[in-house]
Amino acid sequence: MPDHPVPVRSSVLAALKNKTIPLSAAKMIHSLFLVNASGDIFLEKHWKSVVSRSVCDYFFEALERATEPENVPPVIPTPHHYLINVLRHRIYFVAVIQSEVPPLFVIEFLHRVVDTFQDYFGVCTEAAIKDNVVVVYELLEEMLDNGFPLATESNILKELIKPPTILRTVVNTITGSTNVGEQLPTGQLSVVPWRRTGVKYTNNEAYFDVIEEIDAIIDKSGSTITAEIQGVIDACVKLTGMPDLTLSFMNPRLLDDVSFHPCVRFKRWEAERILSFIPPDGNFRLLSYHVSSQNLVAIPVYVKHNISFREGSSQGRFELTLGPKQTMGKAVESVLVSSQLPRGVLNANLNPSQGTYTFDPVTKLLSWDVGKINPQKLPSLKGSMSLQAGASKPDENPTINIQFKIQQLAISGLKVNRLDMYGEKYKPFKGIKYMTKAGKFQVRT
């Protein structure tokens, strides 16, 4: 499962201020349970009355019925509660709600919690959460007040609660102090609550990463059955003062289902297709977007394959060749090919022209680590497969799954035109990077 969240990026505070979500509905999260991949609850937080862990039994029942971890229903009704959950980094974040509320509002808040943990600790894993459990509880206490979303912007939280460091942890242990600040952040009452005040840098710089993930299904003849792109623009902005940025694209009409960071002025986007915003300080996701299969999506790699089984034979043939396609001369890197071979296959005796392969005779999973594709000498994997004696010919040929990365290419064709700054007199350093990677990229044989 791709680790990126569902494309819901409304602002918790903005939604409340605009009264798109009633305050009565916002006072809704009673408890939060964190469940690991083994199905164990390793952390719980209660904002109102304590809710028994037994309420999670309904979640575990849904987890058992799900064919894949990501297929657990996001909203699970119980006799007295609703369980709303998201799966990130192999951890289920399960919120307990007592009355009906807009589910996407809760889902967005849970994603904010995960993003905040990742921003504070570098990673959001069970080990990182346990190692920083005091900071975790401090953050959850500030992010929700009696079940009401209060401070969800990372810039504000970092003024309220200092990120953990080894030195700060040692000092807190010796002195008995905490990471919680004593003063209310000045940005908390500002019209731009996502940006702290008094920001100063010696080197002023703004970097933007355009990252696209392509999902595609290719039939055995090489034709595209379906293809779509999920894209994000991540930013790292370290600018002094209160800069006002505008980011324009050469072809903004490509973007569909766009969701923005709360800092973006939506009316300007609707009128001019220009991103105008006062950025948060540090790392943040500026926007996410979708390019649907209704558009002509370029396929960056092609596969030539010949996987065959003959009736009555104990041998099968396996031939696979990869090549770049419509990549604008950019290299296809970090290529990994995997395929679930039929149950009747005992072993695979293959010869890769590049990279290494493994075959697990128990799970029947074939993996080929290709690396970087050389257009002058295309990588191939050829050989034979041994079948069980007397086994019938497999009904279907296996599906090939491909992972890859292409640097400095946005496969949708999206390009940034220019980035301008207003409100400050200095000249910042600006940089744009592009990357395309495979999501669920399947080739049928």
The per-residue pLDDT for 61 is 95
Q: Which residues of 155-185 are buried (b: 16+ CB within 10 A; e: fewer)?
A: bbbbbbbbebeeeeeeebeeeeeebeeeeeb
Q: What are phi and psi of 310, to 5 degrees?
A: -110, 140
| Topology, domain 12-189 | Beta-Lactamase (3.30.450)
pTM over cut 0.85 = no
| H helical segments located in 347-401 | none
- Report the helix count and the strand count for the chain, using DSSP H and E: 9, 23
Architecture label for domain 205-297+409-444: Sandwich (2.60)
Strands 429-444 and 205-218: parallel
Domain coordinates in residue numbering, the chain = 12-189, 205-297+409-444, 301-407
Return the closest-CA partner of residue 94 out of 57, 48, 120, 146: 57
Q: How far apart are CA 46 and CA 33, in angstroms?
A: 9
The per-residue pLDDT for 175 is 55
Cα four-point dihedral sign 358, 360, 361, 366: negative
Q: How far apart are CA 341 and CA 385, in angstroms?
A: 10
Same topology, domains 205-297+409-444 and 301-407? Answer is yes
CA angle, 10 as apex, 4 and 16 as ends, to 5°? 145
The per-residue pLDDT for 48 is 83
Q: 284 is written with which tokens?
A: 């943040």
CATH 2.60.40.1170 at 301-407, yes or no? yes
Q: 45 is written with which tokens?
A: 């937080």
CA angle, 126 as apex, 120 and 131 as ends, to 5°? 60
The per-residue pLDDT for 373 is 95
* Percentages of the chain per state (helix, strand, coil), in multiples of 5: 20, 40, 40
Q: How far apart are CA 70 and CA 40, in angstroms?
A: 17
CA 74, distance to chain mean position in Å, is 16
Q: Which residues of the chain have pLDDT under 50?
A: 1-2, 4-26, 171, 187
**How far apart are the two ends of the chain, measured CA to CA in Å?**
23
